[in-house]
Amino acid sequence: MSAIVAIVGRPNVGKSTLFNRLIKRRDAIVDEISGVTRDRHYGKTDWNGREFSVIDTGGYVVGSDDIFEQEIDKQVELALDEADAIIFVVDVATGVTGMDEEVAQLLRQVDKPIFMAVNKVDSAMRVADAAEFYALGLGDYYTISSINGSGTGELLDAVVEALPEDEGAIEDELPRFAVVGRPNAGKSSFINALLGEDRYIVTDIAGTTRDSVDTKYNRFGFEFNLVDTAGIRRKAKVKEDLEFYTVMRSVRAIEHSDVCLLVLDATRGFEGQDLNIFWLAERNRKGIVILVNKWDLVEKQTNTVKEFETYIRKQIEPFTDVPIVFISSLSKQRIYKAIETAVEVYKNKTKRISTSQLNDVMLPIIAGTPPPAQKGKYVKIKFCTQLPTPTPQFAFFANLPQYVKEPYRRFIENKLRSNFDFNGVPVQVYFRKK
């Protein structure tokens, strides 16, 4: 599971520029998640072979400096709570400001690696000016220019050095199901309904991530670890509905799971925050089951379920091959169906299809509907295979892979889905040179 590095600081010191530089530093970036917040403020990168997630807290504040004043304690506190290391960005051009002092005061109370980055240092004179930031009482600093990148290498070397060791593979090989969703969707009541009078629970393993709790669950022949994000301790100062907090929590839980059970509140519909969490799971290549909770509270007509389902699938296009289960945690309606579905999705995610079977099924389909010719050239696909990756990925070998366009890639993905059942799992299709 990758560590989290948070970038904090007052507005206009260059946090977002630094963030963009970090996550676009290499072509090998795993993925930048679009739409996780209003903008792109969550990304993955790696440095010296160590992969980590980067969160730009600056993206979570709208409005003027005085609104920021109220938000800053909350925001920094969240970053401190959830991140493994913190980069505190200040601006050499303006020097130390009252707001910088406020952030520094919060940071001094924290027992985590903190790296002060004095930004906009692009000349020797500016290097000397940076010395005044010693006054913030955070010790040494790194002089950087996030626009041209100077100094960021040394900063990243130090950050990566300070990150906790990768937890690597959990010794327990059981599948991990994370219950995610925005606050008040009913995650806790879903978990309580599952575990309530249950005498089959084997153990509670605390601290597999810093503060979500894993429960080993064994019932009806299913055995897996349930990752409960609902129980993560709530800071008194944190407003429950804070988007930033939900995203931070979800990032950890999702990266650390095999299948995500996304709990929605049926009375509120499928909202932006739900969609953010959905795409976060999809981009991290996790299995997904959507649980529409509180369904007992919705007034029903003949087609209510069908209409609600259609509405959700419209929102999650193009990845619509996802199971949707209507549940009520309070009356325990269909909660075991939810778990059965998650187990099915896990099996789909780990499914291996033999090369001969894959070619027997897919090559005739391709022969019947070949890729459209481009510039008078015909694409011939002769062979395909499943790649040895943790999630379903397939390579199709062609004479002119560069001429295969997105609509055809989607056609192939849909045929894979209809023939081999990858319900609930992101599938990747590559076209490669023979």
Which residues contribute to the annotated binding site for GTP? 9-16, 56-60, 119-122, 181-188, 228-232, 293-296
Dihedral pair phi/psi, residue 394, rounded to 5°:
-130, 140
The beta strand positions in 266-378, using DSSP E, are 287-293, 324-326
How do strand 213-219 and strand 141-143 relate by DSSP bridges? unpaired
The CA-CA-CA angle for residues 418, 423, 428, to 5°, reads: 80
Q: Which of 50, 23, 41 is nearest to 164 (CA)?
A: 50
Cα gap 37→207, rounded to integer Å: 27
Burial of 121 (0-12, 13-18, 19+ CB in 10 A): buried
Q: How far is CA 187 from CA 252, 271, 327, in A?
A: 16, 16, 12
- Contact indicator for 70, 88 with CB cutoff of 8 Å: no
Q: Where are the alpha helices (DSSP H) in 92-142?
A: 98-108, 124-129
CA 117 to chain centre: 26
Query: What is the token pair recorded at 252?
Result: 């950890």
Query: What is the token pair recorded at 101?
Result: 């002092």
Query: What is the token pair recorded at 416?
Result: 């894979």
How do strand 176-180 and strand 204-206 relate by DSSP bridges? unpaired
Binding-site residues, in ranges, read 9-16, 56-60, 119-122, 181-188, 228-232, 293-296
Cα gap 222→405, rounded to integer Å: 41
Which helix (H) or strand (E) element contains residue 179?
strand 176-180
Q: How far is CA 361 from CA 74, 382, 396, 409, in A?
A: 55, 13, 13, 16
Query: What is the token pair recorded at 183?
Result: 């606050």
- Contact indicator for 359, 383 with CB cutoff of 8 Å: yes
Cα gap 54→20, rounded to integer Å: 10
The DSSP line for 304-332 is HHHHHHHHHHHHTTT-----EEE-BTTTT
